[in-house]
Amino acid sequence: FLVSLYQFMKDRQTPIERIPHLGFKQINLWKIYKAVEKLGAYELVTGRRLWKSVYDELGGSPGSTSAATCTRRHYE
């Protein structure tokens, strides 16, 4: 999965230079991908404003006010 993801991002000229963090925790890229897929993929998650649910599934801090926005940006 990670090899394919890194190649995909490199091919679209937005390489992953370091694994993103939410709060002080490194994001498990496979886990965020599967969480979004489980909720219906990017378009549905965005359209239904479910990014906070994705963040919660990743084990984020419940008090974060920018959780949804940060999660979406990291996924993108």
Report in angstroms the alpha-carbon separations of 74 from 16, 57: 10, 15
Domain that residue 55 falls in: 21-75
Q: What is the pLDDT of residue 34?
A: 95
Q: How many CB atoms lie within 10 A of CB 60?
A: 19
Q: How far is CA 67 from the centre of its chain?
A: 11
Q: What is the pLDDT of residue 13?
A: 93
The answer to whether residue 9 sits within a structural domain is: no
pLDDT in tens, 8-41: 999 999 898 888 888 778 889 999 999 999 999 9
d(CA 14, CA 74): 12
Residue 58 has which token pair?
């990743």
Q: What is the CATH number of the domain that holds 46?
A: 1.10.150.60
Q: Name the domain count of the chain.
A: 1
pLDDT in tens, 37-50: 999 999 999 999 99
